[in-house]
Amino acid sequence: MDELDPVIHAQARLRIVSALATLDPGESITFPRLLELLDMTAGNLSTHLRKLEEAEYVLVTKSHQGRTPVTYLELSKAGRRAFEDYLEQLRGLLGGAS
């Protein structure tokens, strides 16, 4: 059995990736809305998002609503695939329970 992906296999990042995986492919969410849904601190969310972005699991898009800058976040294809592989591995470790 391969080792579990260390980028996802950490509680906070697993919560972030699980949340982003509920969005449809191509959908993205603003940083404040994700913060609200996860109930994390802004600093902690930023730190873990940076690690996910460095691993190219999360895409960060900067945009503007009027004059206000908005940051949108979404799982990349690689991130979604890594999350699915991770879940499969976990279920495998648990004896195939779904």
Partner 1 sequence: MTENQRDKPLDDEAPLDPAAMLAIVEHQQRSITNQMGGFVPVMTAVWGAAWLLGFGTLFAQQVTGFPLWIAIVVFVLLLLGAAAISTVFGIRAGRGIRASWQSRFTGTVYGVTWSFGSLALSAIGGGLMYNGMSDALAQHFYPAIYLFFIGIMYIIAGAIWPTVFTIVSGGQLVLIGVISLFIPQPFHLLFLALAAGLGFFVLAVLHRVGQKRPARG
Q: Note the residues at the interface with partner 1 (CB under 8 A).
A: 4, 9-12, 14-15, 18-19, 21-30, 32-34, 36-41, 43-44, 48, 72, 87, 90-91, 93-94
Nearer to partner 1, 14 or 55 (CB): 14
Would you state the structure tokens that stand for residue 65, as one six-digit string? 């609503």
Query: Cα–Cα distance between 20 and 58 in angstroms, integer?
Result: 9
Q: What are phi and psi of 14, to 5 degrees?
A: -65, -40
Nearer to partner 1, 37 or 78 (CB): 37
Q: Residue 69 in contact with residue 40, Cβ under 8 Å?
A: no
Least distance CB 95 / partner 1 (angstroms): 10
